[in-house]
Amino acid sequence: MSMNSSDPMTERAVALKRRWFLRECGIGLGGIAANALLTREAAAATRDPGPAGPHFPGKAKRVIYMFNAGAPSHLELFDPKPELTKRNGQLPPPELLKGYRAAFIKPNSALLGSKYKFSRHGKSGIEFSELLPHTAGLADDLCLIRSMQTDAVNHAPAQIFMNTGSQQFGRPSFGAWTLYGLGSEGEDLPGYVVLTSAKGTSGGASNYGCGFLPTSYGGVPFRSGGDPVLYLSNPKGIDARAQRSSLDALTQLNQSALGTAGDPEIAARIASYEMAYRLQTSAPELMDLSKEPQSVLDLYGIKDVKEATYARNCLLARRLIERGVRFVQLFHEAWDQHGNLTKEIKKNCETTDQASAALVKDLKQRGLLEDTLVIWGGEFGRTPMVQGGNDGRDHHNRCFSYWLAGAGLKKGHVHGETDELGFNVVRDPVPVHDLNATFLHLLGFDHEKLTYRFQGRDFRLTDVHGHVVKGILA
Amino acid sequence: MNAFRVSVLFIAVPLRLVAGTTVPLKVDFNREVRPILSEHCFQCHGSDENGRKGRLRLDLREAALKGGESGEAAIHPGKPESSAIVARVLSSHADEVMPPPREKKPVSLAQVEILKRWIAEGADYAKHWAFEEPRKGAVKAGEHPVDAFVREKLQAMNRNPSPRAEAAPLCRRLHLDLVGFPPSPAEVREFEQAAVADADGAVRSLIGKLMKSPHFGEKWARHWLDVARYSDSNGYEKDLPREQWAWRDWVINAFNRDMPYDQFLIEQLAGDLLPGATQDQIVATGFLRNSMVNEEGAIVPEQFRMDEMFDRMDCIGKAALGLSLQCAQCHTHKFDPITHDEYFGVFAFFNNAYEAQSWVFTEEQRKVVDRILGTVAAAETSLKKQRPQWAQELAAWEASVKAKEADWTPLKATELGSTSGLNHPTLDSDLSILTQGHPSTRGDIYAVFEADLKGVTGLRLEALTHGDLPFNGPGRSRYGTWAVTELVVSVEAPGSDKSEPVKLIKPTADFSEPDGRLEEEWKADFDKEQKRTRGPVAYLIDGDDQTAWRADRGPGLRNQESVAVVQFEKPLDLPSGTKLKVLLRYLHGGSGNGRDNTMLGRCRISTTTDADPKAQPVDFAALRAMQLAPGERTPEQQQALFTAWRKTAPEAKAINEQIAAQWMQFPSAPTSVLHLAERTGEQIRPTKLLDRGAWDRPKQVIEPHTPAALHPLEASGKKDRLAFARWLADERSALTARVAVNRVWQAVFGSGIVETSEDFGTRASVPEHLDLLDWLAVDFMEHGWSHKHLITTVLTSATYQQSSKATPELLERDPRNWTLARGPRFRLEAEVVRDSALSVAGLLHQKIGGPSIFPPVPQSMLDYNYFRPTYWEVPTGPERYRRALYVFRKRSMPDPVMSSFDAPNGDFACARRPRSNTPLSALTSLNETVFVEAAQALAQRILREGGLDDASRADYAYRLCTARGIQPGELQTVLKLLEGNRVRLRQGELKAGLIAFSSLTKPEELPADATPNDLAAWTLVSRVLLNLDETMTKS
């Protein structure tokens, strides 16, 4: 949105003139920009005009967020701890446990070394676990943060915190804030699309909700079973032609009402039905991977294009952003290994590693990576102490790992460091609000200024916290 | 938009109508100055001491005149040129100018002019408008008060109101506003005829008629449900279903009975504390329990209890007080006069409560219960008459029982937990162990004690009640019952990490059920053959996981305490430092969801050194009562003693049998309600201020108190929830009635007189129609806080009855209709959209109240739950088409139909909904199952009732959907669609059977003369008509 360049007076006059045309919320679907003007106005016509447009030119124009829910173990994947392996079976040093709260286990449980080996990769020499051969292959493209920290130790509050910046429900998600700030580029698809594999998430729909922002900024789940978008298919027996003639009639009738009642909201409704119609074509086309070349399917490791897998969602993410979708978020809740860690985490990596890496490679090949922010991570980490026998880890909020790639980020870079047991951060901690502040920075926003007034208060994604993590910026 | 409004009215034209002439006005502090200070200054120079910069505060005149640490007066009355505030906002130096450039909130020149004029005129402050008591302005006799205020403004702007709407749309508008679905064509005709003779009379009589309809309560309850964050599930990861619909029905009834709003609030905040509280009044306090409940495995229950408390505060703020209370949770409010301390002062009124659950009986059942209790009481009275010496006999019996009791020492656990880690038992001050949070259907709880183990002969397990447990417990099952599979005791020598089991013998209990198979409802997938049994206390230590000790005395008696005693095979004689571990294993739950657990909610472990300790067959409640001096016993405890005594008295055999037979008839309630119940005695919970609002950083104790800036609390009497409720519902409250009136206005006009209906604080600028709001608020209170009176007042106004036609001129001047120069026109609320479709289709089910129904949702939605809702059974009968009010609301899976039309899902209080028109909502009303069924049913209705030719049918269809006849152009469009599809149907391109029917909508016989092709063609038309803007809009 070009708020920054034009003359504010003219801008305002134009806005006022158009605003009567749209009234409160107008149309839009996370800014489906079928008629870009209308959608922008829909956003602008809400109670406060809002920031509408970046504060400065952002490096990233869009986001793909692979939210690996359930809390992947940093100790098995990203953060090698030979000392932990050495002290396997011993009790943790008592001073470490002062004031520490785990979720389930007694903090004073034996240390558990990882069964998996780490090795250095690429020119950068970043160490990755043997569980992640494909991700490791991208070492020189990634920015790995080993010093994430969060406030919550339960799944639902921690997921909500990571995604909305608050442990209390009802705040807009990062994706919703992004749309609120940037709108959508696409013509026929929602601006914020959610793809789920494995099971439903602990945080539920609030993970991608619009909170108090207009409804149209919420994430729209695209589903692998049944209709990709809820109620996308016409009722039984109604073919495309019948649908078209029905909508033509509807438009005509509504137009006649517009003439009589004069309410511009009728025009907004007419437009929303037209967009719905286009979505009926664009969404199935988007979901149809049959025309993707075999080489691409192989890259992602997709065996059956119909099967609802994480890999399929990774490819869909690329297809979505190619079609102008601003924000794509994958949810894959599978990482809560309180027990059976060795086997289960291996299985998870087999499901996700190749595809996550393929997505980055694919974006890079297509020249999309340079202005796309790619994020991989979950809600917290796991304890260096064992849970239940000898093969599980509990929730741990003191440290965990995230990897990022793409726009404006350092490449082949490791940020932050944990202690020799992977218990505490010892260098460059990155709290959740800092991470989100940095994401917004990459998108061209001052996180303290991207606000929305609700109940008399100017809310933001980062609450009253957050510092941009300069150390990861290119 | 607010800024625009202000600029047009009060900056560019600072004139106001006073007694018919326009005169220049003094700057109005509340309208003009406060918004500037609030927006640009208060963040750092407001009421929050901690965030204050330069020790300067500008929200109080005295402080502003004095200045901050620079010593310079920020404001010099009469002298803008020497007032620092003016110099600072005008400064061109980056480190001088205010607000600092990094805030990116510069003060405009126009605003500086206002500040200057205000200072020149003396810089008078005024109390924020919403904190001044509302007053009723004068209205000329014979004038409708609403119109008087609205038209005064219009006249001042040289504008005219719109003419009265035609009768038909007005009739439809009234129906939608009063009952939430449109009128039938016959009802429209009737109203039209009545209106010809007497338009006002027709409106009044329709309002009267619709307000008598039980659907009135359904429509208006929904608005309260939004702000009360009603939901049918607990939220968070587990998101288990909850039964709270009894509270929802209470709200419907309250609106139908026109319960005074002050009473409405009092009962919901403190109904349980009213003298002689009825079941309904307890149900009412369910309001406070609509918060989400986290039952995730790893929680600390207190953390999430605090989150519930914060949510309660937020809700009370938004729903009743119109203040953003939650802004003072972490620090003193930046804008409103609510200190951090005062936040916890209000919090304290609510904090001393159990999170209770009680049965809700039907009216019939209540009669049965009353009869049983009456009969039991009468039988006991007759026993007392028969045996005048009963008191002495009871005392002698008591003495003999006491003499046989061993001397028990409760043990203090040094470690508590569960093997799975999912459950979090906590130690209470009386050494009892309370388990809350995650309910496990299989699992255990253990406690470790480092007690003196010299000559210990026996161990006692008490199953104790507690207000936080379902129905007081002692168990955590859906009935508050329990079943303990095994009691396992082991010891660990000092310095050893090896645990040695201890052999237990001679189990005894005060009561056990007879041996029996576990009932069908506890069926578990790990015990498909239902091998498990329950019953005698011997099962507690038989080493068999198939058996459990259970003491369920049946409905009416089951939620009472029990005790078991076991002996050590050899008395324990162990060195000090030995750890004694007691583990309670639970393998007798079902496996549906957590409510199928059979855990003990509260228990206590004691030991004795007495020889041969046993549990006597005396109700444990009576034994507990005996431990108190007679004068200290509550009536319930005295009753427990009497009951236990008579059961042992051989002379009372006949009466005992009579009473037992009565209890056998005790009904099982069909539902229950979550509510608050006050803690008393040793359980009273003090409130501590939480540093930065963090649950685990308690500071000093805070006594209950209300914010000083609001009206005072009655000085006398207890400071409990009831006192707060009465304070809130007091006529002296400047906010309560205004907030309620504004909510009604918002429901009718689409936007409140105060647009921010959840926030009347200092950030809410003076509303344009404040006089009107205040008149209505005072009138509301003068008329017994009657919603029906208030709504009647609003709907009988000419302002409400105006045509909603928006001319280009009106749109240009006033796009959002804040001048009220035309009638309301906006898309219907989610519920009304769905109910209207069902209503015009003739499908809407009329039943009021009862359990929520599960709407059809795509399988993919059910699959995306963390826990699949296996209980999601969609009705196929008429209940399928119940009103949207009764559609099950699952928090982590917001209903797709409701949410695509902007309904909130109840995670938190919602005082106003957004209104959006998205392609998703278009797809929903075009293609969602219930909408499709409605289109099919509508087609049948059109063919059955709409006459014999297409034109009259189309006209009838329009009348059903929009309350008006079809226009010629529209008729052409409909006929064209009809004809086009008929051709395709005839040619076999479209299949009538697929389009016209589902298995649920297929009629037993077709409408006379209609073919399946007709039905299909009309189904296609119906689908279009249900999606008309006019069908979905109140106009």
Closest-CA distance, B923 to chain A, in angstroms, reads 6
Is B816 in Cβ contact with A23 (below 8 Å)?
A: yes
* Rounded Cα–Cα distance for residues A300 and A352 (Å): 9
Surface of A (383-422) touching B: CB under 8 A? 387-388, 394-395
Closest-CA distance, A300 to chain B, in angstroms, reads 23
Residues in chain B: 1035
pLDDT at A247: 97
Phi and psi dihedrals of A403, rounded to 5? Answer: -120, 150
* Rounded Cα–Cα distance for residues A98 and B566 (Å): 39
Q: What's the mean pLDDT when you consider all of chain A?
A: 87
* Rounded Cα–Cα distance for residues B895 and B893 (Å): 6
CA nearest B298: which of A379, A146, A436?
A379
pLDDT band at B104 (very low <50, low <70, confident <90, very high): confident
pLDDT in tens, A146-201: 999 999 999 999 999 999 999 988 899 999 999 999 987 776 899 999 999 988 89
Please indicate if any CB of chain B lies within 8 Å of the CB of A237.
yes
Beta strands in A307-455 (DSSP E): 327-333, 372-377, 381-386, 393-396, 400-406, 413-415, 417-418, 425-427, 430-431, 452-454
Is A276 in Cβ contact with B922 (below 8 Å)?
A: yes
* Rounded Cα–Cα distance for residues A43 and B669 (Å): 50
pLDDT in tens, B320-351: 999 988 888 988 888 888 999 999 999 999 99
Stretch among A452-466, B153-167, B553-567, B612-626 having the lowest mean pLDDT: A452-466
* Rounded Cα–Cα distance for residues B756 and B221 (Å): 20
Neighbour count for residue B877 (Cβ, 10 Å): 8
pLDDT in tens, B673-715: 999 999 998 899 999 999 999 999 999 999 999 999 999 998 8
Residue B66, both tokens: 């004095």
Surface of B (896-915) touching A: CB under 8 A? 896, 899-900, 902, 905, 907-908, 914-915
- Residues B756, A453 contacting (CB under 8 angstroms): no
Q: What's the mean pLDDT when you consider all of chain B?
A: 93
What 3-state class would DSSP assign to B1028?
Answer: coil
Token match 């219930």: residue? B930
Is residue B596 predicted with pLDDT exceeding 70?
Answer: yes
Surface of B (1004-1023) touching A: CB under 8 A? 1016, 1020-1021, 1023
pLDDT at B1013: 96
pLDDT at A26: 37
* Rounded Cα–Cα distance for residues B852 and B855 (Å): 9
Q: What is the largest CA-CA distance in chain A?
A: 81
Token match 């105060």: residue? B754
CA nearest B871: which of B844, B890, B850, B885?
B890
CA nearest B1030: which of B797, B805, B748?
B805
A386 within domain boundaries? yes
* Nearest chain A alpha carbon to B310: A168
What 3-state class would DSSP assign to A385?
Answer: strand
Is A249 in Cβ contact with B973 (below 8 Å)?
A: yes
Which residues on adjacent β-strands are paired with residue B701?
B688
Closest-CA distance, A188 to chain B, in angstroms, reads 10
Residue B273, both tokens: 């504390």
Q: Packing angle between helix B185-197 and helix B167-178, nearest 10 degrees?
A: 120
A250 within domain boundaries? no
* Rounded Cα–Cα distance for residues B272 and B288 (Å): 12
* Rounded Cα–Cα distance for residues B854 and B877 (Å): 12
Please indicate if any CB of chain A lies within 8 Å of the CB of B981.
yes
A56 within domain boundaries? no
- Burial string for B900-918 (b: 16+ CB within 10 Å, else e) reads bbbbbbbbbbbbbbbbbbb
* Rounded Cα–Cα distance for residues B858 and B874 (Å): 11
Closest-CA distance, B910 to chain A, in angstroms, reads 9
Closest-CA distance, B369 to chain A, in angstroms, reads 41
Residue A286, both tokens: 């988007």
Would you call B322 exposed, middle or buried from its count of C-beta atoms within 10 A (0-12, 13-18, 19+)? buried
Is A456 in Cβ contact with B759 (below 8 Å)?
A: yes
* Nearest chain A alpha carbon to B922: A273
pLDDT band at A20 (very low <50, low <70, confident <90, very high): very low
Residue of B335, B858, B989 lying closest to A230 (CB–CB): B858
Question: Which residues from A are below 8 Å from B806, CB to CB?
Answer: 261-264
- Residues B779, B737 contacting (CB under 8 angstroms): no
Would you call A185 exposed, middle or buried from its count of C-beta atoms within 10 A (0-12, 13-18, 19+)? middle
Comparison of pLDDT for A6 and A295, the residue scoring more: A295
Closest-CA distance, B997 to chain A, in angstroms, reads 9
Region for B518 from its dihedrals, namely left if φ exceeds 0, alpha if ψ lies in -120 to 50, beta otherwise: beta
- Burial string for B152-183 (b: 16+ CB within 10 Å, else e) reads bbbeeeeeebbebbebbbbbbbbbbbbbbbbb
* Rounded Cα–Cα distance for residues B812 and B803 (Å): 17
Provide DSSP, A2-47: -TTTS-HHHHHHHHHHHHHHHTTT-B-SSS--TTHHHHHHHHHTSS
Please indicate if any CB of chain B lies within 8 Å of the CB of A334.
no
A67 within domain boundaries? yes
Average pLDDT for B921-937: 97
Residues in chain A: 474
Closest-CA distance, A109 to chain B, in angstroms, reads 13
Surface of A (342-381) touching B: CB under 8 A? none
Please indicate if any CB of chain A lies within 8 Å of the CB of B305.
no
* Rounded Cα–Cα distance for residues B824 and B845 (Å): 28
**Which residues, including other chains, have CB under 8 Å from residue A26's CB and lie 6 or more apart?**
A38, A39, A41, A42, A45, A265, A268, B916, B917
State the total domains in chain A: 1
pLDDT band at B23 (very low <50, low <70, confident <90, very high): low
Phi and psi dihedrals of B483, rounded to 5? Answer: -150, 120
Closest-CA distance, B480 to chain A, in angstroms, reads 25
A42 within domain boundaries? no
Is A261 in Cβ contact with B1035 (below 8 Å)?
A: yes
Is B928 in Cβ contact with A231 (below 8 Å)?
A: yes
Count of alpha carbons within 13 Å of B530, Cβ hemisphere only? Answer: 8
Q: Which candidate in A4, A154, A160, A287 is best for mutational testing of the B interface (most B CBs within 10 A)?
A: A154
Tell me the C-alpha to C-alpha distance, in Å, between residue B446 and each of B394, B534, B600.
38, 21, 12
Residue of B863, B970, B993 lying closest to A225 (CB–CB): B863
Which residues on adjacent β-strands are paired with residue B913?
none
A129 within domain boundaries? yes
- Residues A368, A318 contacting (CB under 8 angstroms): yes
Is residue B876 predicted with pLDDT exceeding 50?
Answer: yes
CATH number reported for the structural domain that contains residue A407 in this entry: 3.40.720
Alpha-helical runs (H) found in B30-108: 34-40, 42-45, 61-66, 84-90
Q: What is the largest CA-CA distance in chain B?
A: 102
Residue of B926, B990, B1029 lying closest to A239 (CB–CB): B990
Phi and psi dihedrals of B438, rounded to 5? Answer: -55, 125
Is B893 in Cβ contact with A456 (below 8 Å)?
A: no
- Residues B850, B947 contacting (CB under 8 angstroms): no
CA nearest A126: which of A427, A431, A416, A435?
A416
Provide DSSP, A103-151: SSS-SS--B---SS-EEEETTTTEEEETT-HHHHTTGGGEEEEEEEE-S
Please indicate if any CB of chain B lies within 8 Å of the CB of A33.
no
pLDDT at B759: 93
Question: Which residues from B are below 8 Å from A171, CB to CB?
Answer: none
**Which residues, including other chains, have CB under 8 Å from residue A25's CB and lie 6 or more apart?**
A42, A45, A46, A214, A215, A216, B914, B915, B916, B917
Q: What angle do CA B505, B507, B510 make, to 5 degrees?
A: 165
Confidence check on the interface: ipTM exceeds 0.85, yes or no: yes
pLDDT band at A306 (very low <50, low <70, confident <90, very high): confident
Is A256 in Cβ contact with B970 (below 8 Å)?
A: yes
Phi and psi dihedrals of B375, rounded to 5? Answer: -65, -45
Is A455 in Cβ contact with B318 (below 8 Å)?
A: yes
pLDDT at A268: 85
Closest-CA distance, B758 to chain A, in angstroms, reads 7
How far does CA B837 lie from the centroid of its chain?
27
Average pLDDT for A218-228: 88
CA nearest B56: which of B788, B637, B66?
B66
A248 within domain boundaries? no
* Nearest chain A alpha carbon to B980: A245
| Domain region containing A349 | 62-230+279-472
pLDDT band at B1012 (very low <50, low <70, confident <90, very high): very high
pLDDT at A106: 82
Is residue B548 predicted with pLDDT exceeding 70?
Answer: yes
Q: What is the CA radius of gyration of chain A?
A: 23
pLDDT at B812: 81
A19 within domain boundaries? no
Is A27 in Cβ contact with B863 (below 8 Å)?
A: no
Is B237 in Cβ contact with A155 (below 8 Å)?
A: yes
* Rounded Cα–Cα distance for residues A69 and B299 (Å): 18
Residue B18, both tokens: 């006073």
Is residue B317 predicted with pLDDT exceeding 90?
Answer: yes
Count of alpha carbons within 13 Å of A376, Cβ hemisphere only? Answer: 28
Token match 């056998």: residue? B664
DSSP 8-state class, residue A397: -
Please indicate if any CB of chain A lies within 8 Å of the CB of B696.
no
* Nearest chain B alpha carbon to A280: B923
Please indicate if any CB of chain B lies within 8 Å of the CB of A267.
no
Residue B318, both tokens: 């938004």
Task: Return the top range by mean pLDDT from B263-277, B816-830, B990-1004.
Answer: B263-277
